């Protein structure tokens, strides 16, 4: 079996992490049992490009037990847990290509390794495999019946490809699931981003001025948790509706150029480019801590940061000091997805729902391939309802249901004042 991990000797530690995460993934466990019994994915050869974490390991095991042949590569050079990668290889026979801290060349060689297996389905977090299938691996695209996409950034790219007529395969946007973005993006990113800042800097959040760029679901989560820790939170937005919502949620809202003069922390979580740009860096307060929780390391203008600095040194694990001479700026996680670079990513309990969605999306593609066109699809809302129901059940929470009469009333227009 071909693989490339840091050290297979770390497998014992990785297996414990995988089993720990499994305890908080009851919905995925039910899917796993069903997939195993029915061999739902028999015949699928699936290349996955995801963050190699203990939660992802449980997804890979689920797909494999469902009969799929799975190959895993990292979706970010800094997000791999090396012990988990080792265990996937040693304990679960899943070919894994991922090393935390790998350089760009190795990162891409790992992507090529999974595509060289000639998959008939792919699974992305950031659309890298789909991107390659439309460029360097164009010849293989006819072998692929469809793909699934985990993240907002990936979905935005895929929709742009679809609009331009460039998308050649069907893709299920798992991020569109309500049971994904309302929970993973908000509660997952919220907790894990603040966790990463605390672990890496050990700075006190209480009493700090904490700027969040972007008030999408991820931004809301980060803002909510920073406020919960006692920070004064400022939101920077370009969308007037989202900005207004932030105002009514009780946050200060202002342009970043002003906010950065006061900020102790700046977290960019927009999916856009150079949100924290040269002009902002020049105005930043001495000692500000910068981080990014969007998918690609492009939200903070790193070349400008390097140019402005006279000296750069690592001052703590995952924290780099950019010394401008007149002031110092700190960048966490090399400006990459901070919650995975400097912490463990989202907790298993929330990834349970995201990866239940991924499993159902893989099944959906396998079972509906013939009807699907080269478009970006959302899963039927009944799948969301099933995932939410199972999650509630796993928490021992029962909910009400409508009577026949109430259903009739809601579906009619005759009854009124």
Residues that bind ligand ADE (CB under 6 A): 50-51, 53, 55-56, 188, 340, 345-346, 351
Which one, 155 or 340, has the nearer CB to ligand ADE? 340
Q: How far is the CB of 23 from ligand ADE (least distance, A)?
A: 14
Which one, 55 or 320, has the nearer CB to ligand ADE? 55
Q: How far is the CB of 347 from ligand ADE (least distance, A)?
A: 7
**Calpha distance 183→337 (Å, rounded):** 18
Nearest to ligand ADE by Cβ — which residue? 345
Which one, 264 or 352, has the nearer CB to ligand ADE? 352
Q: Residues 331, 291: contact at Cβ < 8 Å?
A: yes
Residue 290's DSSP bridge partners are 266, 331
**Calpha distance 88→19 (Å, rounded):** 12
Which one, 75 or 301, has the nearer CB to ligand ADE? 75
Q: How far is the CB of 189 from ligand ADE (least distance, A)?
A: 7
Place of tokens 């015949």: 43
Structure tokens at 141: 């695209």
In 285-380, which residue ranges form alpha helices assigned H by DSSP? 302-308, 338-341, 348-368
Which one, 331 or 350, has the nearer CB to ligand ADE? 350
Q: How far is the CB of 102 from ligand ADE (least distance, A)?
A: 17
Which one, 214 or 301, has the nearer CB to ligand ADE? 214
Which one, 121 or 185, has the nearer CB to ligand ADE? 185
Q: How far is the CB of 50 from ligand ADE (least distance, A)?
A: 6
DSSP β-ladder status, 328-332 and 289-292: parallel
Place of tokens 């700046």: 266
Q: Comparing C-alpha atoms, which of 261, 254, 262, 260 is closest to residue 276? A: 260
Which one, 48 or 331, has the nearer CB to ligand ADE? 48
Which one, 113 or 152, has the nearer CB to ligand ADE? 152
Dihedral of the CA atoms 247, 245, 297, 130 (nearest 10)?
180
Residue 69's DSSP bridge partners are 45
Q: Comparing C-alpha atoms, which of 176, 251, 253, 184 is closest to residue 218? A: 184
Residue 253's DSSP bridge partners are 235
Q: How far is the CB of 59 from ligand ADE (least distance, A)?
A: 8
Place of tokens 């309990």: 349
Q: How far is the CB of 312 from ligand ADE (least distance, A)?
A: 27
**Calpha distance 115→47 (Å, rounded):** 7
Residue 302 carries which DSSP code? H
DSSP reduced 3-state for 220: helix
Alpha carbon 231 to its chain centroid, in Å, reads: 25
Place of tokens 């999974």: 114
Q: How far is the CB of 181 from ligand ADE (least distance, A)?
A: 12
Q: How far is the CB of 394 from ligand ADE (least distance, A)?
A: 18
Residues 6+ apart with CB under 8 A from 415: 409
Q: How far is the CB of 120 from ligand ADE (least distance, A)?
A: 23
Which one, 294 or 345, has the nearer CB to ligand ADE? 345
Residues 6+ apart with CB under 8 A from 270: 213, 214, 216, 219, 294, 299
Structure tokens at 107: 């990162």
Which one, 53 or 122, has the nearer CB to ligand ADE? 53
Q: How far is the CB of 125 from ligand ADE (least distance, A)?
A: 6
In 229-336, which residue ranges form alpha helices assigned H by DSSP? 240-248, 256-259, 278-283, 302-308
Q: How many residues does the chain have?
A: 417
């Amino acid at each position: 079996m071909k693989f490339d991990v840091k050290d297979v000797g770390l497998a014992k530690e990785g297996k414990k992490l995988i089993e720990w995460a499994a305890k908080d993934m009851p919905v995925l466990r039910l899917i796993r049992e069903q997939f195993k019994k029915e061999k739902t994915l028999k015949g699928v050869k699936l290349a996955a490009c995801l963050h190699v974490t203990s939660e992802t390991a449980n997804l890979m095991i689920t797909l494999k037990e469902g009969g799929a042949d799975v190959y895993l590569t990292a979706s970010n050079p800094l997000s791999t847990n090396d012990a988990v990668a080792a265990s996937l290889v040693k304990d679960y026979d899943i070919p894994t290509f991922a090393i935390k801290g790998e350089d760009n060349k190795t990162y891409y060689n790992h992507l090529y390794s999974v595509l060289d297996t000639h998959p008939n389905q792919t699974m992305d977090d950031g659309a890298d495999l789909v991107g390659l299938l439309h460029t360097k691996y164009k010849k293989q695209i006819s072998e692929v019946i469809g793909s699934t996409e985990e993240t907002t950034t990936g979905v935005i790219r895929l929709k742009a490809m679809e609009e331009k007529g460039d998308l050649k395969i069907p893709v299920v946007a798992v991020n569109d699931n309500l049971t994904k973005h309302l929970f993973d993006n908000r509660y997952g990113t919220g907790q894990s981003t603040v966790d990463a800042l605390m672990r890496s800097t050990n700075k006190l959040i209480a009493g700090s001025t904490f700027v969040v760029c972007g008030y999408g679901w991820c931004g809301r989560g980060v803002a909510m948790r920073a406020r919960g820790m006692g920070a004064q939170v400022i939101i920077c937005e370009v969308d007037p509706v989202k900005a207004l919502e932030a105002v009514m949620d009780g946050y200060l809202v202002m342009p970043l150029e002003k906010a950065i003069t006061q900020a102790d922390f700046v977290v960019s979580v927009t999916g856009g480019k150079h949100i924290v740009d040269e002009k902002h860096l020049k105005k930043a307060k001495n000692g500000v801590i910068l981080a990014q929780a969007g998918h690609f390391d492009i939200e903070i203008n790193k070349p400008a940061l390097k140019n402005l600095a006279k000296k750069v040194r690592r001052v703590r694990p995952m924290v780099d000091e950019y010394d401008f001479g007149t002031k110092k700026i700190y960048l966490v996680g090399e400006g990459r997805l901070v919650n995975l670079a400097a912490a463990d990513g989202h907790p298993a309990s929330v990834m349970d729902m995201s990866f239940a969605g991924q499993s159902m999306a893989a099944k959906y593609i396998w079972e509906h391939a013939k009807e699907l066109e080269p478009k970006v699809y959302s899963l039927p809302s009944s799948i969301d309802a099933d995932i939410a129901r199972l999650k509630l059940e796993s928490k021992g929470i029962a909910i009400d249901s409508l009577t026949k009469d109430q259903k009739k009333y809601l579906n009619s227009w005759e009854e009124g004042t």
